[in-house]
Structure 1
Amino acid sequence: MKKKVSMFLTSCIVAFGLFGVHTSAEASTSQIQTLDQSVQKIVSEKMADADVSIAIRDEKGNVIYDLNGNQKQKPASNMKLLTSAAALEILGENYRFKTNAFYTGKIKNGVLKGDIYLQGTGDPTLNKEDLEQFVGSISALGIKQIDGRIVADDFWFDQDLLTPGIDEDDESYYYAAPITALTTSPNNDYDSGTIIVEAKGEKVGDKPTLTITPELGDLVIENNSKTVESNQPNTITIERQFRTNKIVVSGNVPINKSLKEWVTVQNPTTHTITMFKHLLDQKNVQYSKDKLYRAKTPNNAKLIAQKQSMPLSQLMIPYMKLSNNGIADILVKTMGKEKMHQGSTKAGLKVLREYAKSRHLNIDEWSFEDGSGMSHSNRVSSINLTQLLFTVQKEKWFNTYFNSLPVAANPERMVGGTLRNRLKSPLTAEKVIAKTGSLSGVNTLSGYLIGNSGKPYTFSILVQNKSGTIPAIDAIVEVMAGQL
């Protein structure tokens, strides 16, 4: 499948001609006038009272059409377009996150007279199986008892677990997961800082059966839900109580029905170390102190094992195709750490601005307080977003960047991504490669499209202060594709 996906995306790049020189004629005045009439009609009929900013550039980078193009609006996850560009430039396509296990002291007769350190650098791909391998490596050293501490070293990042603008109502859900340098993911989408809780009704009157992936760690569950008859409504909810480690399951689930929820952990470091200790227990490795310790790894500590993530070029696929906020937040802090020696959102955002300035983008016209797009305080115009999208075509890593974007109407999850069920018209299917964005009252779409003429264009559509605007946005894109 990887070969098939790679060949498809390569063909898209060739079709776009983004690496070649075009000599085709520019869009005519009459084309643009017709386009404007069609766009204005959709906006007035389907997005009345909404704030709309639209811009289109041709293959030479000229703005050939805009509607409120300089109006600054909320980009939602279109913010990731800048974060990804900066990460590929600053960290590089071959960047890998590393997690290390160390020990101090001496091993004698199966007893470690010293400490075990688990040191993280924010790897969003770290999982339970990796922790099991660390435990296996400890056991392979002949250690049967740890006469010391189990220590978490998560000092690569700061202790601001959430980015600005995360609402209380969001904190339980995967798209607002907390970030530490020592975190784990429950799946290959790399939803770091979460666990998956599934509740299934199996016997009327009983509580639903709960399945936890990978395991509770330091979380606790209070199951107040009930299984009801099949004709009853499904009212079950699975939420972590605000600022606690308690997950509450409540409501009713019909028999043979289920609900699966990705629930955030309260503190990823605590959760990871607790899970690590459970695995030590399963391997019959005894340890004497149960308290969580946080400390930096001493310089004289001895390496037990190291886990490296996939390179950033590969991580870009699940990150951008599925619009993973956690990975975006981790990349921002990582850039801050690598470039400014501060693993913080504030430092990382400075790096984003420095990258943008180095590429002569009008970054002073951007406003942002995170790299994922979750904040409602972020602002950018469609003209500035298309400037970014045009400029990055010259970067040596553009192939990786382009391949990471969702492809309209392609049913393969890691190709179509968040666009796999959209833009299915023959005019747009697999001819629109773009980043989606969504917040309460906000929908955005920015990227690349091949017009009906066969020419490539860069576009951005930002809509705010109105819900349910995706069909209207897609209608505008279809008009663009058909009339350009």
Structure 2
Amino acid sequence: MKFLAILILLLNILSAQNNIGIDSLQNNTGIKNNLSELRTELDDIFNDPNFSNAFWGVSIQSLKTGETFYKLNPDKLFKPASLIKLFTSSNALLLLGSRYQYRTEFFIDGNISNGILNGNLFIIGSGDPTIMIEDTFEHWLDSLNHKGIFSIKGNIIIDDRNFRQDKYGAGWLAEYMEDWFAPTTGAFCLNKNAIEIKIEPTKIHQSAQISFNTEFIENYEVINHVITSTKNSAVEVKINRIGNNIIDLIGKIPVTTEPYSVYIPVNNASQYFLNSFYEFLLDEGVEITGNAVKLDEYDKNYDFNNTIPLFTHKSEQLTKIVSEINKKSDNLLAEQLLKTIGFEIYGYGSTSNGIKAVKELKQGMGINPNNFIMADGSGLSSYNLLTPKQVVNLLAYMYRSSEFDSFYKSLAIAGYDGTLLDRMKGTKAENNFRGKSSFLENTRGLAGYIKSADGEPLALALIVNNFLVPSQLANYIQDKVCNRLANFTRN
């Protein structure tokens, strides 16, 4: 009976979603459009009995007049989940500028003769989260060759001292240990600090074949319990982490399925980067007589005045990185960016320094930093707390800032891209609402900008905590509100 009741509830939710563009989310031209009628309708929407044991927080404001369209617990604290990325990304644009680029610097301490570097190659990490093995390493090899270096009589040495390396953020759940979306952060990032494990079917009832995207997989031991199953079965792969270094893959993969990938976060980002680059150079035929070492291990008091600049690798501009954060809700980019704010403002890349800089800027946004808890840059932390009104204050501040264009373009477009690709389709909110969605256990949020039928710009934040129904129903209510706002007219 319990299973039947759950099934019926899910079917009802799916039915409601499928009819969004037809009934309750329909572009209804017969709606009464004065503000009091709108508020009454929104009251009815948020009084949905499915959320009787949950808490809604809502703030909707006109950016044209400053008028509050609607509010519900606007000054109560809520867990925001990924809405915290709006604070990380917007403050990065304001403090660093949309044209900011990460700079990974290369130095040598010897001469180059006959294709040989007679000395060490140094790499200073800047926290660049966009470095990839296939693209970036190949570009660096070309740069070394262009400088006349084909062999190295010395060590590969990295300097990661400008950033704090953290395995987990404050308030992250222990179960995130085995999840790719909760990566290690620090001065060096490679392939989003995740190791790809590719799983390929073999013969039915036999073990699947596994391979890795890099030769260096730290000190992990991977146990393969994935079996090749019949063609009509589904892919089912689960990652179990035993202690810190043992990964147990359990499940099945159909014999006719294309290779399937899972990802695990690395334990030591700097070491993963260093060893991967060292192995890459060897594989590409670069002879290296020395070792792969961190500067602290080589010489803590090394004087860089004795080195010679070789070249500098620059990342894409911040506008592209912020777009990845807000459209795709990329946790690694958000965490790295918060540390980068700390590094650029206070000289050391730590989460606490980044938060300190963000809180100082909030005062100019009408946000009391003492009534706001920011524990990380991505929203994974259960410690984060903010109010819907604070989110709308941020959106209103950005609307009038010189960085609004970059910020606005970074947001997901309803029914078109990012995390909002499949939402609000067939309604007036489609391709109108731009914003950020958020999701954690028992938490769902939506915040951003929308224009009414009159073209009046609105900022909104809709957050619900502590619900027990499927999250699709929370999405449905948020989308319904957005469509109602898109149809609103004062005339």
TM norm structure 1: 0.85
Q: Write the distance in 2 (CA, Å) between the matches of 1:374 and 1:202.
A: 37
Q: Is the 8 Å Cα contact of residues 105 and 114 (structure 1) preserved in structure 2?
A: yes
Q: Which residue of 2 aligns with 1:189?
A: none
Q: Write the distance in 2 (CA, Å) between the matches of 1:33 and 1:148.
A: 71
- Tell me the matched-pair count: 444
Which residue identity is paired with 2:55?
D
The secondary structure found in structure 1 opposite 2:41 is helix
Cα distance per residue 1:375-417 (max 9 Å; x no partner): 111111111111111121111010110011111011xxxxx21
Q: Which residue of 1 aligns with 2:479?
A: 474
Q: Is the 8 Å Cα contact of residues 99 and 318 (structure 2) preserved in structure 1?
A: yes
Task: Map residues 63-462 of structure 1 onto 2, 5 A cutoff.
Answer: 63-108=68-113, 111-128=116-133, 129-185=135-191, 192-213=192-213, 216-218=216-218, 220=220, 221-238=222-239, 241-244=242-245, 246-257=246-257, 258-290=259-291, 292-295=293-296, 298-410=304-416, 416-462=417-463
Q: Write the distance in 2 (CA, Å) between the matches of 1:248 and 1:366.
A: 40
2:65 corresponds to 1:58: no
The secondary structure found in structure 2 opposite 1:175 is coil
Superposition deviation, residue 363 in structure 1: 3.0
The secondary structure found in structure 2 opposite 1:39 is helix
Q: Is the 8 Å Cα contact of residues 236 and 253 (structure 2) preserved in structure 1?
A: yes
Q: Write the distance in 2 (CA, Å) between the matches of 1:405 and 1:215.
A: 36
Which residue identity is paired with 1:320?
N
Cα distance per residue 1:397-440 (max 9 Å; x no partner): 10110011111011xxxxx2100101113221112111111111
Cα distance per residue 1:256-297 (max 9 Å; x no partner): 235322321112211111111112212322223445323477
Q: Are residues 254 and 117 of structure 1, via their aligned partners in 2, closer, same or farther at CA, if it must alter by over 3 Å?
A: same
The secondary structure found in structure 2 opposite 1:174 is coil
Q: Write the distance in 2 (CA, Å) between the matches of 1:292 and 1:243.
A: 23
Which residue identity is paired with 2:266?
V
Q: Are residues 85 and 232 of structure 1, via their aligned partners in 2, closer, same or farther at CA, if it must alter by over 3 Å?
A: closer
Q: Is the 8 Å Cα contact of residues 214 and 276 (structure 2) preserved in structure 1?
A: no
Q: Are residues 297 and 162 of structure 1, via their aligned partners in 2, closer, same or farther at CA, if it must alter by over 3 Å?
A: farther
Q: Is the 8 Å Cα contact of residues 218 and 275 (structure 1) preserved in structure 2?
A: no
Q: Write the distance in 2 (CA, Å) between the matches of 1:233 and 1:396.
A: 50
Which residue identity is paired with 1:58?
S
The secondary structure found in structure 1 opposite 2:422 is coil
TM norm structure 2: 0.84
Cα distance per residue 1:223-242 (max 9 Å; x no partner): 23221222445432245555
Q: Is the 8 Å Cα contact of residues 195 and 215 (structure 1) preserved in structure 2?
A: no
The secondary structure found in structure 2 opposite 1:236 is strand
**Greater shift in the superposed pair: 470-479 or 390-399:** 470-479
Q: Are residues 174 and 160 of structure 1, via their aligned partners in 2, closer, same or farther at CA, if it must alter by over 3 Å?
A: same
Q: Is the 8 Å Cα contact of residues 135 and 279 (structure 1) preserved in structure 2?
A: no
Q: Is the 8 Å Cα contact of residues 431 and 450 (structure 1) preserved in structure 2?
A: yes
Q: Write the distance in 2 (CA, Å) between the matches of 1:409 and 1:199.
A: 32
The secondary structure found in structure 2 opposite 1:251 is strand
The secondary structure found in structure 2 opposite 1:445 is strand
Query: What fraction of aligned residue pairs are identical, expressed as a percent?
Result: 25
Cα distance per residue 1:293-335 (max 9 Å; x no partner): 2347723222222211111122222221001111111111111
Which residue identity is paired with 2:378?
S
Cα distance per residue 1:108-146 (max 9 Å; x no partner): 555544211122101111111222332343345554543
**Greater shift in the superposed pair: 263-272 or 289-298:** 289-298
Q: Is the 8 Å Cα contact of residues 117 and 297 (structure 1) preserved in structure 2?
A: no
Q: Write the distance in 1 (CA, Å) between the matches of 2:483 and 2:261.
A: 35
Q: Are residues 294 and 204 of structure 1, via their aligned partners in 2, closer, same or farther at CA, if it must alter by over 3 Å?
A: farther
Which residue identity is paired with 1:322?
K
Q: Write the distance in 2 (CA, Å) between the matches of 1:342 and 1:422.
A: 40
Which residue identity is paired with 1:327?
L
Q: Which residue of 2 aligns with 1:10?
A: none
**Greater shift in the superposed pair: 298-307 or 436-445:** 298-307
Q: Are residues 306 and 242 of structure 1, via their aligned partners in 2, closer, same or farther at CA, if it must alter by over 3 Å?
A: farther
Backbone CA RMSD of aligned residues: 2.3
The secondary structure found in structure 1 opposite 2:306 is coil
Which residue identity is paired with 2:212?
I
Q: Write the distance in 2 (CA, Å) between the matches of 1:223 and 1:272.
A: 25
Q: Are residues 436 and 177 of structure 1, via their aligned partners in 2, closer, same or farther at CA, if it must alter by over 3 Å?
A: same
Q: Are residues 418 and 219 of structure 1, via their aligned partners in 2, closer, same or farther at CA, if it must alter by over 3 Å?
A: farther
Q: Which residue of 1 aligns with 2:18?
A: none
Q: Is the 8 Å Cα contact of residues 42 and 481 (structure 2) preserved in structure 1?
A: no
Q: Is the 8 Å Cα contact of residues 153 and 297 (structure 1) preserved in structure 2?
A: no
Structure 1 stretches of 5 or more lacking a match? Answer: 1-26, 186-191, 411-415
Q: Is the 8 Å Cα contact of residues 101 and 134 (structure 1) preserved in structure 2?
A: no
